[in-house]
Amino acid sequence: MTIAEPQRSHPSFPQQGWVAALRGFTRKTSPVEAGRCELCGAEILPGHQHLVEPAGRRLLCCCQACAVLFSNQAAAKYRRVPERTELLRGFHMSDLQWDALRIPIDLAFFFRSSTTQGVVGFYPSPAGATESLLSFAAWEALVADNPMLAELESDVEALLVNRLEEARGYYRVPIDRCYELVGLIRAHWQGLAGGAEVRDAIRNFFARIEEAARAPGLGSHA
């Protein structure tokens, strides 16, 4: 070890050794992808579509054929998840309105449930999606300021709110995107406060959402 030589020939990565970095990188972090349509068993590729079963609030992976079949039915047991992703510019939500919704963290999604005939709120946690009891009045106040919320298709579309730190992002997204976010957070969470990895995962997620919002039709998601 030389004491007197300040110059190094390469940039330094002080956080961890290269072996630790490789191990961290290859560690399996994301959930295993479904390879089969849950309705007909046909093989499906990543980027496949999803159906929602409102009764169980389940997401099912499905092939193109089943997706089309189910989107044509009226009183459906399964509902097709649309692909529309929109950044809601001009969305109004004051800090007071956010507090009134009483979500414990600054990240949540809200959708109309056909089974309960009301709006439900969920937030991601290390244990998965956690339901948060919503005040009817608080939601109605939000709809009054943002009439587009009434247009959200029940069960399959959600308002996704990102108020982490300085962010104030409001999105209209397909419900499977919300569960994708939940899955990411659960997979990357470390320790008590989450850690840098989950922060990065969340940041990348919203970058992808914004890109999908800019380029509709290109964003076929996993």
Partner 1 sequence: MNKDESQAFERELCRIQELIGALEDLADPQARERAKELLQVVLDLHGTGLARLLELVSEAEEAGQKLLNALAQDEQVRALLLLHGVHPEDLESRVRKAVDTMHPLLGTQDIQIELLSVAEDKVRLRLQGDWQGQHLTIETLRREIEEAIFEAAPDAAGIEIEDLMEPAARPREILVPVSSIPRRNKQGVSAAES
Please list every residue from 155 through 174 that binds partner 1, using CB under 8 A.
none
Query: How many secondary structure helices (H) and strands (E) does the chain include?
Result: 6, 9
How far is Cα 157 from Cα 152, in angstroms, rounded to an integer? 6
Verify binding: residue 89, partner 1, rule CB under 8 A: no
Please list every residue from 181 through 220 that binds partner 1, using CB under 8 A.
200, 204, 207-208, 211
Helical spans, DSSP H, in 27-174: 64-71, 95-101, 136-145
Provide the minimum distance between the beta carbon of 57 and partner 1 in the complex, in angstroms, as a whole number.
Answer: 24
**Phi, psi (rounded to 5 degrees) for 20:** -65, -40
Among residues 21 and 143, whose Cβ is nearest to partner 1? 21
Q: How far apart are the first and last CA of the chain?
A: 49
Among residues 41 and 46, whose Cβ is nearest to partner 1? 46
Contacts of 87 (CB under 8 A, 6+ apart): 169, 170, 171, 209, 210, 213
Provide the minimum distance between the beta carbon of 50 and partner 1 in the complex, in angstroms, as a whole number.
Answer: 16
Select from 17-25, 66-74, 151-159, 163-171 the region that touches partner 1 (CB under 8 A): 17-25
How far is Cα 217 from Cα 222, in angstroms, rounded to an integer? 14
Verify binding: residue 17, partner 1, rule CB under 8 A: yes
Give me the 29-68 binding string for partner 1, x by CB under 8 A, dash otherwise.
-x---------------xx---------------------
Provide the residue type at 105 as one letter: I
Please list the residues that pair with 162 across neighbouring strands.
107, 169
Angle at 176 between CA 101 and CA 214, to 5 degrees: 90
Select from 1-9, 59-67, 115-123, 130-138 the region that touches partner 1 (CB under 8 A): 1-9
> Would you state the structure tokens that stand for residue 5, as one six-digit string?
């030589």
Provide the minimum distance between the beta carbon of 209 and partner 1 in the complex, in angstroms, as a whole number.
Answer: 11
How far is Cα 167 from Cα 98, in angstroms, rounded to an integer? 13
Among residues 101 and 181, whose Cβ is nearest to partner 1? 181
Provide the minimum distance between the beta carbon of 118 and partner 1 in the complex, in angstroms, as a whole number.
Answer: 33
Please list the residues that pair with 194 across neighbouring strands.
190
Verify binding: residue 12, partner 1, rule CB under 8 A: yes
Provide the minimum distance between the beta carbon of 13 and partner 1 in the complex, in angstroms, as a whole number.
Answer: 5
Residues that bind partner 1 (CB under 8 A): 1-4, 6, 8-26, 28, 30, 46-47, 200, 204, 207-208, 211, 222
